[in-house]
């Protein structure tokens, strides 16, 4: 049994992970920005008698992180696992997205993880044990157009995680990164709903790509299962690609030079559609011009 702190549990991967880890006998501190506005997890925990303690935590706010940590330590003197899951995303061209969007995503997806990590490290270092699991994305290693804020924040999280792993190893603390592909979560809907008209024609391709990938219906529970394996020590890998499309996407990118990858943005529509079909993505039905 482990004491586990998870950020971003209101829906998606965080929600599924909190439930699965609790069902497996762990004490879960499930955090979210507005617990009073989201009773689904609380109701489920009560109905299933799951050991889930729901706390308020905004990863972009220093005081909120400190307060949440104080509440966790009120319940227990040992923090075994931190799962940095809270994340947001938007889709659009660098020129057309407001600078505030870049700041918002970097603050949540990257600096939020840094804040929470710094909050648990003193306790983990003193107890000479612990595990920090950062939920990154295939987008942290495969950089796609119209996803600059998200990919940048996840790439930063990847670099941070590797640096951290080297630093904390002498204290018996493990760091792991989970890299989901396109997962069927509310984040996908939020990204699409924010899209506006653009002077950049390839935005249609980007939307079609994510729509076709979403058709695979990769559930957040699949990501939760990968996290459980890390918690249980069944997976000892540092990077853990997760989902049916994650390894193919990473392999597809690795098979191309940087120059060819960038040049692919200039191929004609039929060639691009065939490239996507090679990844088992039926984008044609989402192309408006088709």
Based on the residue annotation, tell me whether 190 is a catalytic residue of this protein: no
Cα–Cα dist 163/156, whole Å: 11
Vertex 181: Cα angle to 266 and 133 (nearest 5): 130
Alpha-carbon distances of 34 from 13, 14, 31, 52, 176, rounded to whole Å: 17, 14, 9, 16, 27
Catalytic one among 10, 152, 211, 246?
10
Nearest to 173 by CA among 240, 117, 224: 117
Spatial CB neighbours of 20, under 8 Å, sequence gap ≥ 6: 221, 224, 225, 227, 228
- Residue 59: both structure tokens together: 């990863």
Based on the residue annotation, tell me whether 150 is a catalytic residue of this protein: yes
- Residue 133: both structure tokens together: 């699991």
Catalytic one among 137, 150, 226, 286?
150
Catalytic one among 145, 152, 153, 154?
154
Based on the residue annotation, tell me whether 154 is a catalytic residue of this protein: yes
Alpha-carbon distances of 204 from 192, 196, 211, 238, 282, rounded to whole Å: 11, 11, 10, 35, 14
- Residue 126: both structure tokens together: 């003193």
Based on the residue annotation, tell me whether 192 is a catalytic residue of this protein: no
Active site residues: 10, 136, 150, 154
């Amino acid at each position: 049994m482990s004491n586990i702190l998870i950020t971003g549990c209101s829906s998606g991967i965080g929600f599924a992970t909190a439930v699965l880890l609790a069902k497996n006998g762990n004490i879960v501190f499930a955090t979210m920005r507005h617990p009073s506005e989201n009773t689904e997890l609380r109701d489920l925990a009560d109905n299933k008698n799951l050991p889930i303690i729901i706390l308020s935590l905004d990863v972009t706010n220093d005081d909120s992180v400190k307060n949440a940590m104080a509440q966790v330590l009120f319940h227990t003197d040992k923090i075994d696992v931190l799962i940095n899951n809270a994340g947001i995303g938007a889709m659009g061209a660098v020129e057309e997205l407001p600078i505030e969007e870049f700041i918002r995503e970097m603050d949540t997806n990257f600096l939020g993880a840094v804040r929470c990590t710094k909050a648990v490290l003193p306790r983990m270092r003193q107890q000479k044990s612990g595990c920090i699991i950062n939920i990154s994305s295939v987008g942290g290693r495969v950089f796609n157009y119209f996803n600059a804020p998200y990919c940048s924040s996840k790439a930063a999280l990847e670099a941070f995680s590797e640096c951290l792993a080297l630093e904390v190893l002498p204290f018996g603390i493990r760091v792991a990164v989970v890299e989901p592909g396109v997962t069927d979560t509310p984040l996908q809907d939020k990204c699409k709903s924010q899209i506006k008209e653009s002077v950049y024609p390839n935005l249609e391709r980007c939307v079609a790509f994510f729509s076709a990938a979403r058709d695979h219906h990769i559930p957040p529970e699949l990501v939760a299962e990968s996290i459980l394996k890390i918690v249980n020590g069944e997976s000892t890998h540092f990077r853990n690609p997760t989902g049916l499309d994650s390894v193919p996407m990473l392999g597809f990118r690795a098979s191309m030079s940087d120059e060819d990858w960038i040049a692919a943005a200039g191929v004609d529509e039929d060639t691009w559609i065939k490239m996507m079909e090679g990844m088992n993505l039926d984008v044609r039905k989402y192309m408006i011009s088709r």
